[in-house]
Amino acid sequence: MRSLCQISLAWGAAAVAVAAAGGGAVKVAPPPPPLKRAAPVPPPGASLPPDARCPALPAVRPPFAFSPGEMLEYDLDALGMGAGKLRVAVAPLEDGALPILVEATTNTLFSKIRRVVGGTRSDLDPRTLRPLRYLEEATEDGVHKKARVRFHPQERAADLEWTWGTRSGHWSLRHGPEGLDAAGAIFLLRALPWKTGARTCFDVYSIRRIWRVVGQVEAREHVSLPLGEFEAWHLSGVAILADDPRRRRELHLWVSDDRRRLPLVAVGTIDLGAVRATLTAVTRAGEKSARAQDPVRTLKW
């Protein structure tokens, strides 16, 4: 689950690295920035940004840029090679929640390094897009791993039950004014407006831990993909492990600046190194499906 959830963190937390209002100038997108194994380690004694600097994100209201029936498909690249596939689906409402389903599989080549098959489910409040429940489950190199999370926003806490092979546990995790999960957070971001230079800070659950994400909107840029040409917002950030601020992950995300607000590319770091998820297909209810005609270009790390 660690690789799967770190991919989710790179995809989801990068996606919510920034939320703000407004617009910006159009620029040509540069190549994805080179990433280190992890973000620079802070000096001794460094700590998390305090809760006072991490207020809750703005409220959102439907209708949103997505709806049940949407499917997003991504190619995953890691260590400079194709690593597998990622699929993100918006499911029909169930028991008063909007389910977001994420499935990840590594390909034959990458499975020689680490084999992962699994997924996550984020049950969101369909009115606020805040998480109600979250499930992670995967088999990694033959070891079954599972975690169930229930959010209690009024108490700023999340109850976690987990199993990891033969081990298990039940923890209560504290978060700040805004507590999200790595899979569903991107959908809250898609409902928020931005402006260049805006900064934000909030908490994300992933990998049995709380990460504090600090980020900003870099610019509005032009992005060329095999799927098409897009004007997009470039968001950057750092995910900081709440109980060990020395552990940090660099994050970048490009989201289309149009009515669909598509997460186009996410670049981040996992324990093995840099990873990128590139959108290759979009299916939306009532619309013709779009799919990349050319293979994703080789990454230059």
Question: Each residue of 43-58: pLDDT tens digit?
Answer: 455 688 899 999 999 9
**What is the reported pLDDT for 74?**
92
First to last CA, the chain: 25
Question: Residue 89 pLDDT more than 60?
Answer: yes
* pLDDT for the residue 285: 81
The residue-averaged pLDDT of 140-148 equals: 82
Which residues touch 108 (CB under 8 Å, ≥6 apart)?
none
Q: Is the pLDDT of residue 85 over 70?
A: yes
Sequence-distant (6+) residues with CB within 8 A of 64 are 129, 187, 190, 191
β partners of residue 201: 214
State yes or no: cis peptide before 131, omega within 30 of 0: no
The pLDDT of 11-20, averaged and rounded, is 34
Question: Which residue matches tokens 């809250």?
Answer: 188
Q: What is the dihedral of CA 194, 198, 202, 207, to 10 degrees?
A: 80
Min mean pLDDT across 89-93, 169-173, 226-230, 290-294 is at 290-294
Q: In this prediction, what percent of the chain has a pLDDT beyond 70?
A: 73
Residue with tokens 């805004």: 178
Model confidence at 165: pLDDT above 70: yes
Using only the alpha carbons of the chain, give its radius of gyration: 18
Which segment of 4-13, 75-84, 118-127, 245-254 scores lowest on mean pLDDT? 4-13
Residue 7 reports pLDDT greater than 90: no
Q: Are 150 and 169 in contact (CB under 8 A)?
A: no
User: Residue 133 phi/psi, 5° resolution?
Assistant: -140, 155
